[in-house]
Amino acid sequence: MTTELLVGPRALPALEENRPLVVPPSAERTLGNGLTVIVIERRSVPLVEVRLRIPFGRAQLDPGFVARAMLMSQTLFSGTPTMSTVDIAAALQSVGGALHAGVDADRLLISGNGLASGLERILSILSDVLHGASYPEGEVTTERSRLLDRIRVAQSQPSHLVRVALLRRMYGEHPYGMQSPAAVDVAPLRSPDLADLHASRVHPAGAVLVIVGDVHAWSALDIAEVTLGGWDGSGGAQVTPPVPPLRPGPVVLAHRPESVQSSIRLALPAVGRTHPDHAALHLANLVFGGYFSSRWVENIREDKGYTYGPHSAVDHSVAGSSLILSAEVATNVTAAALLETYYELGRIATVAPNSEELEQARRYALGSLLLGMSTQASLAGLATAYAAYGLRLDYLVEHTARLAAASSEEVAAAAATYLAPAKAVTVVLGDAERVAASLSTLSTVELVPAPVGTAALDEPEQGTPPPSEPEPIRGPSGV
Amino acid sequence: MPSVETRSWERFALPNGLRVVLAPDRSAPVVGVAVVYDVGIRSEPQGRTGFAHLFEHLMFQGSANLEKLAHFRYVQGSGGQFNGSTHLDYTDYFEILPSNALERALFLEADRMRGPRLTEENLRNQVDVVKEEIRVNVLNRPYGAFPWLKLPPVLFDTFPNAHDGYGSFDDLEAATVSDAADFFERYYAAGNAVLAVAGDLDVAQATEFVQRHFSDVPARPAPPRPDFAEPDLTAERRTSYVDKLAPLPALAAAWRVPDPLTDLASYLPYVVLAEVLTDGDASRLVRRLVLTDRIVTSIGGYVSFMGDAFDVRDPTALLLEARLPPDGSVDRVLAVTAEEIDRVAQDGLDEAELTRTVARMSTHLLREADTVLNRALRHAVYEQQRADPALSHELPRRLAEVSEDQVRAAAARLSANRRAVVEVVPGGGAR
């Protein structure tokens, strides 16, 4: 890449030499109770990021478990025998800190950050909560009501409704088929339900603590050992069975009366991060729709104006991976947008990407890895996600090499294997009275009522944002 | 106090009026590039609501040396990411990339600073895209644009401050290529822009790149900036509207605050007060309204409509917003909120309450500054609005200097007669 490209009267500057991916210094220790502690040094700002990932899989689809886990995660910081909710929050705040818990189908994740000098305080409060969260009945009552209110709000949010419908369609009776609580399962929960779940599942076996920031690795490991080494190591994890293969079929149309847009979702097969096809699939997806400069986005947004922020990404879960396409489109172009989506899937599956498309996607993928290594928060997120699969940050070095080496033939083969429209599961949430007839021209359609009672919920975000975080009006990449 | 940012920075101006800030940090091989134009929602003309944002989209549709789609492809094909966003007082365009693409990013920004390709086809395409953006963010979801587009018309009377910055579909559809050309000519002048670069750069080399690509951008002066001042409220204003997707009542209130630019010292206590009232479970309003009285499901508070206290000019406001349970009483929430604010004003803060609140605010500021892109954006906006690109380095210290008496005095100003209130009446939900 040293030649200048003439793109008009002026020459586009060439890229300088590629910058190498440098994995920051880290250290790791497995404590006697089974907790794995990973510390990554990144001294860009005098802060520390903390993530504690506790396996929370389940062997069966269990709506009651989903409800208990969600309410437990929201009440985890509501008191110990010696501290109230307010005491806990104030003690963390005094070192610039905060901790939050969230749960999904695979894990309970406690996340937080604070001034680096407060690491010991943050971990010792975390330890107090892990040992002694007491789920006071009054606080449980408050959090239960708040959760029920959030479920009501989620039920009017199209992004959540369509996710519920998609999970049901993809996974059926597998535990992933229902990942969010129903009001009917939340309403009867009391303090002992949460304390029992905590006692049986909140243990260090298989758990990973990731610490990233302005710390010295060995001293941070010592702090972790002193504060968390006594966490009770009993209890056992449950193993989530592998996900069933996708079963293509009619377009599922979930009716949402008077919806002014349709939410289109497609699921396709995918592979995990260590599979030999992973790098090639990653590149094939980028060329298809995985970033703005992709065939699908350029088609349905920049050419046709059907949508604002379509995106396509591989979604990794412990029991399996899948590729998910998402687009919110104007109601009157629902079928047309789906047609273009099938067209672009068919095109990538049958016509190999040209070398310009592939090299552009490759550079994007490699650059994204560099960007992801440049902040404490993103390092913490990557390290935690990889640790769930037994991987460490040096996986990125191998992934970089695989991305760099993936051939055009391998990418074309991955596209044919994983992006074929014949393998897609399609769900549309929208006003069926306005979109069913035109969708029926493309596919058989199975009409279902809008999912009610099992709405997906946003994870509580860091830093207790206001109920609706204000945002600047965004430009082109609406994702 | 935590250590404040100590990174170095340089600023200079080109003969065409473009101001430049360079902030090296070689700890990771990435750079953030930001170009900020001093025009935002408040400057758009009557009958053209939403135009500043629509124009922002058009700045991505090609320029002298770049076909449509080329900007996206060159940024992403360099391993980078891009976006832009439209605010009340400015519009930003930015990239974050591996540092080997710095010169390319500067080329791309300079090219559109000379002039975007404004065509009828691209305009119609982006009107369609923006309409979908509005549908997804406002019309098709509960509490869309609440409260940031719902409070201004209650708190303010003049078009610049009160109108809908996303725009009406009628106004968007009425926009013409000639409107866009005029808007560019007037507001997108080199003298009205700031370029900031932060991250893995060598100052001498980056200076050379900047001169190479931006020196021949034609000089056009910044247009005079209108005065958007409005008088404060003297009596409470209150409205409500039905949100047919919302299942639960909601409430937002706003009070005017001092001028963030000319009177930062008086403004900062309000920024701290918002956090004292609402940051986390140990804050005053969360404790009382959520945990004790259980009369709201959630409550948040912040200064400025878009949630960033340090990127706005006067007039702006302190906002509180709450979601209520199904049978919740808006009047009760307002009364208890007033009682708690009055307690701060009368009795002051608990021991350590101020220091712990400010400690958490420092974490937020430092955490945001951990990305080179945010640093570039901050430097650019602070240079543009304050001629002080390093305000971010100062803020932790300035916040730590806010006294309890100042917070009490700010609380005393949040009286019912200066309040604008918007209530969301649930129209059903669950659809």
Could you read off the pLDDT of B374-398 as tens digits, one per residue?
Answer: 999 999 999 999 999 999 889 999 9
DSSP state of B142: T
Q: Please judge whether B352 and A153 are an interchain contact, meaning their C-beta atoms are less than 8 angstroms apart.
A: no
Mean pLDDT of chain B: 95
Q: What is the per-residue pLDDT for B429?
A: 54
How far away is chain A from the Cα of B133, in angstroms, using its nearest Cα?
A: 5
pLDDT one-digit tens code per residue, B224-239: 999 999 999 999 999 9
Q: What is the per-residue pLDDT for A238?
A: 85
Q: What is the per-residue pLDDT for B2?
A: 41
What's the rounded Cα separation, in Å, for the pair B165 and B143?
16
User: Which among B9, B16, B260, B261 has a CA at the least distance from the CA of B114?
Assistant: B16
The nearest alpha carbon in chain B to A139 belongs to: B291
Higher-confidence residue of B286 and A468: namely B286
How high is the ipTM of this complex?
A: 0.95
Q: What is the per-residue pLDDT for A144?
A: 98
Q: Is A444 exposed, middle or buried (0-12, 13-18, 19+ CB in 10 A)?
A: exposed
pLDDT one-digit tens code per residue, B363-377: 999 999 999 999 999
Interchain CB contact of B397 with A (< 8 Å):
no
pTM: 0.94
Q: Which of A83, A88, A374, A479 to mutate to test the interface with B (most CBs of B within 10 A)?
A: A374
Q: What is the per-residue pLDDT for A277?
A: 98
DSSP state of B428: -
Interface of B with A in 202-241 (CB under 8 A): none
Q: Please judge whether A7 and B99 are an interchain contact, meaning their C-beta atoms are less than 8 angstroms apart.
A: no
Per-residue DSSP letters for A241-300? PPPPPP---SEEEEE-TT-SEEEEEEEEE---TTSTTHHHHHHHHIIIIISTTSHHHIII
Over the Cα atoms of chain B, what is R_g?
22
Q: Please judge whether B79 and A371 are an interchain contact, meaning their C-beta atoms are less than 8 angstroms apart.
A: yes
The nearest alpha carbon in chain B to A113 belongs to: B363
Considering CB atoms only, which of A96, A291, A360 is closest to B360? Answer: A96
**Could you tell me which residues come within 8 angstroms of residue A188 by beta carbon, excluding any fewer than 6 positions away?**
none
Q: Please judge whether A467 and B286 are an interchain contact, meaning their C-beta atoms are less than 8 angstroms apart.
A: no
Interchain CB contact of A147 with B (< 8 Å):
no
Give A183's contacts in chain B (Cβ within 8 Å).
none
The nearest alpha carbon in chain B to A144 belongs to: B297
Give B360's contacts in chain A (Cβ within 8 Å).
93, 96-98
Mean pLDDT of B82-92: 96
- Average pLDDT of each block of 10 consecutive residues along chain A (479 residues)? 53 94 96 96 96 96 97 98 97 98 97 98 98 96 96 93 96 96 97 96 95 98 97 82 97 95 98 97 98 96 94 96 97 98 98 96 97 96 96 95 97 98 98 97 92 44 33 47
Interchain CB contact of B143 with A (< 8 Å):
yes
Give B301's contacts in chain A (Cβ within 8 Å).
466
Q: What is the per-residue pLDDT for A237?
A: 74
Give B426's contacts in chain A (Cβ within 8 Å).
none
Is residue B381 within 8 A of residue B368, CB to CB? The reply is no
Q: How many C-beta neighbours within 10 Å does residue B426 have?
A: 21
Q: Is the peptide bond before B147 cis (omega within 30 degrees of 0)?
A: yes
Give B93's contacts in chain A (Cβ within 8 Å).
475
Mean pLDDT of B329-342: 98
User: Which among A206, A221, A214, A222 has a CA at the least distance from the CA of A28?
Assistant: A221
What's the rounded Cα separation, in Å, for the pair B131 and B133?
5
Q: What is the per-residue pLDDT for A464?
A: 30
What's the rounded Cα separation, in Å, for the pair A295 and A284?
11
**Cα-flanking dihedrals φ and ψ of residue A16, to 5°?**
-75, 180
Q: What is the per-residue pLDDT for B132?
A: 94
Q: Please judge whether A261 and B73 are an interchain contact, meaning their C-beta atoms are less than 8 angstroms apart.
A: no
Interchain CB contact of B356 with A (< 8 Å):
yes
Q: Please judge whether B370 and A13 are an interchain contact, meaning their C-beta atoms are less than 8 angstroms apart.
A: no
Give A111's contacts in chain B (Cβ within 8 Å).
none
Q: What angle do CA A66, B326, A135 make, to 5 degrees?
A: 40
Is residue A411 within 8 A of residue A404, CB to CB? The reply is no
**Could you tell me the two tokens for B134?**
């509005």
What's the rounded Cα separation, in Å, for the pair B137 and B126?
16
Interchain CB contact of A192 with B (< 8 Å):
no
Q: Please judge whether B133 and A77 are an interchain contact, meaning their C-beta atoms are less than 8 angstroms apart.
A: no
Q: What is the per-residue pLDDT for B103?
A: 98
Interchain CB contact of A139 with B (< 8 Å):
yes
Mean pLDDT of B34-45: 97
Q: Please judge whether B70 and A7 are an interchain contact, meaning their C-beta atoms are less than 8 angstroms apart.
A: yes
